[in-house]
Chain A
Amino acid sequence: MLENILIADDSATARMIIRRCLEIAGCRDTNFLEAKDGREALQLARQNSLSLLVTDINMPNMDGRTLLKNVKASPKLTDLPVLVISSASSTVVERELLEIGAFAVVKKPVTPASISGFLQALTGENPWG
């Protein structure tokens, strides 16, 4: 059970789509927090006990790559799983993000099906079962 999920994306549309996909994929009783950029996300991550951080790469103020590096460099946050969702990902970028410490990388447009496998790997629960 993922209690608190933080979604970081500069687009309100993207945040809504990601949240709906997570809900459909099994996160029905989850408390969702939202951030418009990496800086806001990092602040919320420090202030809250999160189960998962879902972030876009391309954001103003602080991008998702820098956010991920900051999270992994923080002793308090280093174990927080980070799911990166981006339109600008390639296999090279994906490898780089995984090396930095991302739990998984998903290409936009995100769908419940594309996200459910990662949730299952994270929680050990089958979202469809």
Chain B
Amino acid sequence: MSRPDLKIASSLVSGLTSTMENMTFEEVVYLGKMPGGGRQFDIWASLPITSPLPGSISIELPLDYAKILAREVCVALQLDDPEAAINDAVGEILNTVAGRFLGELLGPEASFELGLPVCGMGKMRSAEEPVATIFFQVAGHTVRTQLFGQAFADSRTDIEGVCR
């Protein structure tokens, strides 16, 4: 893995780890790029990154774990729509992951803008290949985070500068 790829990967790991540990109080285990065995992801959320590098970031997780994440939200807010609570919780986690990831990748002085998260059930579909794919284990469940956007791939020279 080149230094820019390492920087993207390590920033994703850092963003997800700090977010999950602070929001769910769960330890995050980094599984690398390609863990063995079939993986079942039922819930996904995608968040546009609008600047300075256009692209998107996504998170996918199994339904069982999404239910655990949303249960507290449903109870606290007395929601009778578990699907809405799941989407809201997963979207907010991704929003926080994205902020932490970009802050780590681009540095504390760099401004960036995010769009609003879109969530869904089933398999996430994307027209393009991800720039980076990272698998994590949280509370015994496998979670996948992907980064999309040619700008991230094209800007590896800039990111290389950040790595130094």
20 pairs of residues in contact across A and B, judged by CB atoms under 8 Å: A12-B77, A12-B79, A13-B91, A20-B76, A58-B114, A87-B99, A88-B112, A89-B99, A90-B106, A90-B109, A90-B110, A91-B109, A92-B111, A93-B111, A108-B96, A108-B99, A108-B100, A109-B18, A109-B23, A109-B96
Are A11 and B22 in touch, CB under 8 angstroms? no
Task: Give B45-100 interface residues, CB cut-off 8 Å to A.
Answer: 73, 76-77, 79, 85, 88-89, 91-93, 95-96, 98-100
Interface presence of A4 (CB below 8 A): no
Number of interface residues of A (CB under 8 A): 22
| Secondary structure call for the B interface | helix
Shortest distance in angstroms between A107's beta carbon and chain B's nearest beta carbon? 7
Interface presence of B162 (CB below 8 A): no
Task: Give B121-153 interface residues, CB cut-off 8 Å to A.
Answer: none
A-B contacts at CB below 8 angstroms, number: 70
Question: What interface size band does chain B fall in?
Answer: 20 to 34
A12 with B114, Cβ < 8 A, contacts A88-B99, A89-B99, A91-B108 known:
no
Q: Which of B79, B92, B98, B113 contacts A11 (CB 8 A)?
A: B92
Shortest distance in angstroms between A92's beta carbon and chain B's nearest beta carbon? 5
Chain A 12-30, CB within 8 Å of chain B: the 1/0 string? 1110110010000000000
